[in-house]
Structure 1
Amino acid sequence: MSLISEKEFQELAGFNNEVSVSIFIPTERAGKDVLEEKSKTHLKSLWKEIKNKLEKKEVSKDKIEKLDEPIQELLNDKGFWRHQSDGLAIYVAEDFFRKFTLPLKFDTHYYINREFYLKPLVPLFSGDGRFYLLSLQVENVEFFEASKYSITPVKIDDLTPARLEDTVGYDYEEKSLQQKSSASSMGQQAMHGHAGADRERKNEIFRFFRAVDQGLHSLLQEEKLPLLVACQDYLFPIYKEANTYDNLYPEAVTGNPKDTDMLGLHQRAWETIEPLFEKQKRDKLNQFHDQNGKTAVSIHDILPGVHQGKVDTLFLDRNAEIWGTYNEDKMKVDIQEGQRNGNFSLMNWAARNVLNQGGNVFLLDEEQMPENSSKMNAIFRYS
C-alpha cells in the first residue's frame, strides 16, 4: 500500500507550469456517504468553482478544457469512488494529472499557481517517520519500507535466504523430529540430548538470521532508517544477537506475522514504533528552546536559510498561510496580504525545499508552535 513515494513527491515539487491546480477534499472510507457518492459530488461542485476562478484569471478556454478532461474521467470512474480513504489530493496541469487517496483528513481547499501546493502532504513525510520492517519466520522472510501512513513491500529474494532450509539444509526438521522422539523414549539421559538439540536448533536459526542480516546490509545502509522486526517472541533475541545493523529498534512486533495480513501488520508495527517518532518531535521542540543562536522566528531570516540549505527543522502553523515572493538572487522576502498575481505561498515554498534538502517539517496547531507569535519557526543546522 504505497500512498505517495518520495519520487512522486519530488516530481510534484519540481513541477512548474503556467497554470497548476492543487485540490484537496475530505473523503469517507465507508457508509452512506460512499454509497451516495458524496465525495464525487463534492469534487464536482468544487471543480465548477475552480473553473470559474480560472476564467476570471483569463485562462484560455482551450487550456481549461484540457484541464477538465482528466477531472471528468475521474468523476465518471465509479470504481474509484467506492474505494476511498480519509482524503483525496489531486494535482492537474496541462498534460499532467496525479491523484492520491490518502489517510489524511483534508479541509476542502484548492490552490492555483505556477507550482503545486504540497504543504498538506507534510504529515506523510514529517519527522522522517519512515522505517524498515522485517517480517521474520523460519519458513519465510519479507521486507517492507513503511511510515505512519504507508507500507510498501521490497523485493529481497536476490539478497537474503527466503527460509531456514536455504541456509542450514533440508534435514534440519527431520533431525529435530528424531531428537524429540529419542528424548521421549530414552528418559532422563535423552533430556541432555534434547538440550543439545535445542542449542543446535538455536545455532541453525542464528546462522539463518545472520545470513538475512548480511544480505540486507547494503540495502539498510542506503538511508539508515530504523529497522523494526516482526516475529515470534523466542526469535527476536536470536535476531538481536545475529544483527549487525546499528539502527535496530530494541522492541519487536510480537506474534507470528503469518497470523495477520499486510495492513494488520502495518498497524501493529506503527503502534510499536510510534514512540520513537513522537520522541523525535519532542526532541526537536526541546532543541528549539535550547538553541540560542541556531533558531529563527522571522520569515525574513528563515527563507534565506532555507534557500542556503541551513534549515534542519521547520515548524509551520497548520492553519495559517503567508503570501508573498522570495527573490533568490537578493535573498529578499516580500510579504503581501492574500494571494495576488505573481505571488505564492511562502509556507509551501519553505516546506517543499526543506523536505527536498532532507530536513524535518512539522505542521502544528498555533498553541503547539515553539514561538507562537510567528507562523513559521526554524532550527538551523549551523549559524
Structure 2
Amino acid sequence: MNRNDLRTIKSYEGYPCLSITLPTHRTSPDNKQDPIRVRNLVTQATNRLLESFSRREVAGLLTDLENITNEIDYTHTLDGLAIFVNADVALKFYLPFTLNERVVIDQNFFTRDLVFAMNRTPRYWVLALSEKPTRLYEAVREDLEEVTAGTPFPLTHGGPGGASGLTNDPAVNRSAFRDEHHRIFFRNVDQALGELMAQDPLPLAVVGVDRFISFFREVGSHNDKIVTTLTGSHDRTSAHELGKLVWPLVKQSLAASRQQALSELDTAVGGQRYASTIGETWRFAREGRGALLLVEEGFHYPARVNASGTGLDPIEAPSGPEDMDDAVDETIETVLNMGGRVVFFEDGTLAQHDRIALILRY
C-alpha cells in the first residue's frame, strides 16, 4: 500500500463503509489462526450490518465481502491485513506492519491505524535497473513488493542494444549508439518513476550494474531522492533476497539522514527559521511553510482546534468529528502532502523542542 492507495481509500464516502483490520502472521503455526480470526470478524461485521439494514439492502456488500475474503492467500500474508468494502468497492491489502483488530462501520473507511503505521514505518522505493526489465518495488524495511498495477512498470528496453540488435553499419560507432539508446530508455524509466514520486515522494534505493546506475543518474531527475545504491546484476534476485541486501544499506543511510536533519535544525534555530511544540508546528504546517519535520517516533497528541482556529487544545480522547485522534499524524500528513520531508527520532532526542520541531521554508 502506498499513499496513493491510502488517498483513494479515504476518498470513498457513503454509509455503510465497512473496514476490517487485524494482525496476521507470516509463518506456521501462528498463521493457522488467521483464517479463523478473519471469519469471526466477518461474522461480527455481518451481524452489525444486519442490525441496521435488511439483508436485501446489504446483499451486494455482503457478497463482495465474502468474495474478497475468499481471495485471501494466507500463505502470503504479512504482519497485517486490511479489508475495505462498501457499495462501490471491495479491497484488501497485505501489510508489512501489524494492525489492531477492528470492525468499523462508518460514513468513510477507517484509516487512522494505517496512517499511523505508514507514517512511522521506514518506507522507500527500490528501482532495479535492467534492460529486461527494470522493476520498481515499494519497500518497508526488508519487505519488497513489486509495483505493477496502474503503472508502466516493469519496463523493458526494446531499442537497439536491448530487445533489438545493434546496427551493422560500419560508419556507426556501435558503442556510442548503444549507450545513447540506453540513456533514452533510462530517461523513460525516470519519467515513469516521477509519476509515482509525485504521489509518494519516498527515499529511493537504486540497484543495477555500474553502467546502468551511471546512465540513470546522468539523465534522471531524482538524484536528490537516492539514498543508496546496490551495484551488480540482480535480474534473477527474488524480491525477498533483494530486500535483505538493500535494507541494511537504506538503514545506514537513514541514520546519516537523522544526523543531517539535526544539523539542519541547529542552523534553522540560529536563523530563527523553525517552530517547536505541536501547536506551532501544526499551525505552520497548515500554512504550507514546513520544509522538514523532525518528530519523535512515540509522540502522540489527541487534540481539538481551539476557539480561534489557530492552535490546539489537548484532549483525553476524541469525542466528536472535530477532534483529532493524533495531531502529530495530522501534522505529518500535512507536511508530506505539501512537499516537505519528515524524519523520525528515538524518544527523548527532541526533548528541548517538546518532541517535535519544524524547519520552515520562510
- Name the TM-score, length of structure 1 as normaliser: 0.66
- Per the alignment, residue 337 of structure 2 pairs with 356
Give yes or no for the alignment of 1:142 onto 2:122: no
Moved more, 247-256 or 80-89: 247-256
- Per the alignment, residue 194 of structure 1 pairs with none
- Per the alignment, residue 74 of structure 2 pairs with 81
Give yes or no for the alignment of 1:245 onto 2:217: no
SS at match of 1:312: strand
- Please, which of 9, 12, 16 is the counterpart of residue 9 of structure 2? 12
Compared with structure 1, are the counterparts of its residues 346 and 124 closer, same or farther at alpha carbon in structure 2 (3 Å cutoff)? closer
One-letter amino acid of the structure 2 residue matched with residue 243 of structure 1: E
One-letter amino acid of the structure 2 residue matched with residue 366 of structure 1: D
Compared with structure 1, are the counterparts of its residues 320 and 269 closer, same or farther at alpha carbon in structure 2 (3 Å cutoff)? closer
* CA–CA distance in structure 2, aligned partners of residues 14 and 231 of structure 1: 37
- Per the alignment, residue 62 of structure 1 pairs with 53
Per-residue CA distance 1:157-204 (angstroms, 9 max, x = gap): 9995356155762659xx9xxxxxxxxxxxxxxxxxxxxxxxx77546
In the TM superposition, residue 85 of structure 1 has moved relative to its aligned partner by 0.6
* CA–CA distance in structure 2, aligned partners of residues 111 and 289 of structure 1: 44
- Please, which of 26, 29, 32 is the counterpart of residue 32 of structure 1? 29
In the TM superposition, residue 345 of structure 1 has moved relative to its aligned partner by 0.9
- Please, which of 237, 241, 245 is the counterpart of residue 260 of structure 1? 237
One-letter amino acid of the structure 1 residue matched with residue 52 of structure 2: K
* CA–CA distance in structure 1, aligned partners of residues 356 and 288 of structure 2: 15
Compared with structure 1, are the counterparts of its residues 151 and 254 closer, same or farther at alpha carbon in structure 2 (3 Å cutoff)? same
- Per the alignment, residue 187 of structure 1 pairs with none
User: Any conservation in 2 of the 1:313–1:360 contact (CA below 8 Å)?
Assistant: yes
- Per the alignment, residue 283 of structure 2 pairs with 304
SS at match of 1:100: strand
One-letter amino acid of the structure 2 residue matched with residue 136 of structure 1: S
Matches within 5 A, 1:1-383: 4-15=1-12, 23-34=20-31, 36=32, 38-43=33-38, 61-62=52-53, 66=58, 69=62, 73=66, 77=70, 79-91=72-84, 97-108=90-101, 116-118=110-112, 120-121=114-115, 124=118, 129-131=123-125, 133-137=127-131, 140-144=132-136, 146-148=138-140, 149-153=144-148, 155=152, 160-161=157-158, 164=161, 169=166, 203=176, 205-216=178-189, 218-219=191-192, 223=197, 229-232=206-209, 235=211, 239=215, 243-245=218-220, 247-248=222-223, 252-292=229-269, 293-315=272-294, 318-319=297-298, 321-326=300-305, 330-342=309-321, 343-347=323-327, 348-361=329-342, 365-368=346-349, 370-371=350-351, 374=354, 377-382=356-361
* CA–CA distance in structure 2, aligned partners of residues 238 and 218 of structure 1: 16
Compared with structure 1, are the counterparts of its residues 314 and 74 closer, same or farther at alpha carbon in structure 2 (3 Å cutoff)? farther
Per-residue CA distance 1:43-87 (angstroms, 9 max, x = gap): 5556778899x89xxx96229995983796279627433431111
One-letter amino acid of the structure 1 residue matched with residue 340 of structure 2: G
* CA–CA distance in structure 2, aligned partners of residues 319 and 50 of structure 1: 31
SS at match of 2:348: helix
In the TM superposition, residue 278 of structure 1 has moved relative to its aligned partner by 3.8
Moved more, 340-349 or 17-26: 17-26
* CA–CA distance in structure 2, aligned partners of residues 5 and 349 of structure 1: 17
Unpaired runs of 5+ in structure 2? Answer: none
- Name the TM-score, length of structure 2 as normaliser: 0.70
In the TM superposition, residue 298 of structure 1 has moved relative to its aligned partner by 2.7
- Per the alignment, residue 196 of structure 1 pairs with none
Per-residue CA distance 1:299-329 (angstroms, 9 max, x = gap): 3223322322223344555555433333698
* CA–CA distance in structure 1, aligned partners of residues 14 and 92 of structure 2: 18
User: Any conservation in 2 of the 1:168–1:208 contact (CA below 8 Å)?
Assistant: no
User: Any conservation in 2 of the 1:323–1:335 contact (CA below 8 Å)?
Assistant: yes
User: Any conservation in 2 of the 1:27–1:39 contact (CA below 8 Å)?
Assistant: yes
* CA–CA distance in structure 1, aligned partners of residues 258 and 221 of structure 2: 21
In the TM superposition, residue 281 of structure 1 has moved relative to its aligned partner by 3.6
Greater radius of gyration (CA): 1
SS at match of 2:313: strand
Unpaired runs of 5+ in structure 1? Answer: 176-199
- What is the aligned-residue RMSD (CA, Å)? 4.6
